[in-house]
Structure 1
């Protein structure tokens, strides 16, 4: 059972902050709203299920949120669970909330080319090169989703996709870091949103931890050379 008091004490198990895009999402949602939680960073040990994670995550993956005896895993599921207790994580207006859920789910299940060709690596500083057509197509779709959200749903109420910070912003946060690290050329409106997200104190806190981490993933670090970049 989850905790029943008004001030839940969450524990979030997460992976290395330089590489773990899935972990960033619920962490950022919690931190941005000022929700109290304890974080436990664990070594990723490569990709996929890790039997070492089974001690604190039923599916052997991170992130995993503990609320009392309850364990909630998967980034979007964790954010949805948090929104039940903290409803400000979704837009209050029904149609905006539906669109926010739609693009959050699209990010959760799609954009495989961006994920595979531009894996999150915050320490990477690439010069920026022309992207393969399949990757550029997904980048264009992300920028369009951002533009539509800002144009039709933000209503001048704030700098985020739907005005106030929401789960949609948390879900796209790893893409923001990818666009920054790989120096991806963006339209002016998408670049402005990227910079808004990068300026968040919580994102800067995550970046500092990522750059201070001593854990290395040789496979992902090899992309530094492929993209003509350098490592912080």
Structure 2
């Protein structure tokens, strides 16, 4: 069975992406959770990944795949019938493009509004650069939803929805002012079985960790 190495569910935005994609697609895996606040966290993360970052997918032959986008691509190759990417070639290319944009960009939003799934910080971290990132996210979602007809970005839930799920949580945590169609999409993501499970387990396992976003980025890939 596949193993997916992740970190704390309340904080780990990068872990959420492949976890949610695999879960929603019905791909079985064993979860291995590391703790940000562990006194041995550097060693723990380094033992699981050559980069010292999570998430990491461990294949049945022991091969390790690090970086969330590489994990999704590997899982899509292993399970081509699970619909991780849209079936239509044009939609698939579009989905990969917006996932890559999410993967590499939106640094103002990430830095100023770090993921804390179980908290509410209305207005904290907002500035004009953050708003520009939020505006771009809303534009991406609106274009996809109008083209596909929903309920998710490409109709059915795909890796694209999983990649933007951490942003869904951030916009909710910081009570960002968003358009009604954006809020409706966020609610649909929150209502998925995978997100409900992730949130429930985050509450069960939660341990407060006092650290800043630059540290958090250092153990995510």
Q: TM-score, normalised by structure 1?
A: 0.85
| Equivalent in the alignment of 2:72 | 79
Inter-partner Cα distance in structure 1 for 2:189 and 2:206: 25
Maintained 8 Å contact 2:36/2:209: no
Q: CA deviation at 1:130?
A: 8.6
Maintained 8 Å contact 1:26/1:170: yes
Inter-partner Cα distance in structure 1 for 2:126 and 2:57: 35
Is 1:138 the counterpart of 2:133? The answer is yes
Maintained 8 Å contact 1:65/1:78: yes
Alignment map for 1:73-112 (pairs within 5 Å):
73-87=66-80, 88-112=83-107
Q: CA deviation at 1:126?
A: 2.5
1:198 to 174, 179, 190: 190
Distance 1:130 1:50, change over 3 A: closer
Inter-partner Cα distance in structure 2 for 1:217 and 1:111: 24
Distance 1:214 1:160, change over 3 A: closer
Q: Which SS does the other structure have where 1:124 is aligned?
A: coil
Runs of 4+ in structure 1 deviating by more than 6 angstroms, as ranges, are: none
Distance 1:129 1:45, change over 3 A: closer
Structure number with bigger Rg:
1
Inter-partner Cα distance in structure 1 for 2:176 and 2:125: 8
Alignment map for 1:6-17 (pairs within 5 Å):
9-17=1-9
| Equivalent in the alignment of 2:26 | 34
1:188 to 168, 177, 180: 180
Inter-partner Cα distance in structure 2 for 1:15 and 1:54: 13
Inter-partner Cα distance in structure 1 for 2:209 and 2:196: 22
Inter-partner Cα distance in structure 2 for 1:26 and 1:65: 9
Comparing 125-134 and 187-196, the one that deviates more: 125-134
Is 1:53 the counterpart of 2:45? The answer is yes
Q: TM-score, normalised by structure 2?
A: 0.89
| Uncovered stretches (5+) of structure 2, i.e. residues with no partner | 214-221
Which one has a larger percent helix, Structure 1 or Structure 2?
A: 2
Inter-partner Cα distance in structure 2 for 1:97 and 1:75: 17
Maintained 8 Å contact 2:112/2:126: no
Q: Which SS does the other structure have where 1:89 is aligned?
A: coil
Inter-partner Cα distance in structure 1 for 2:206 and 2:65: 28
CA offsets 1:14-54 (integer angstroms, 9 cap, x no match): 000000000000000111011111001111249xx933222
| Equivalent in the alignment of 2:217 | none
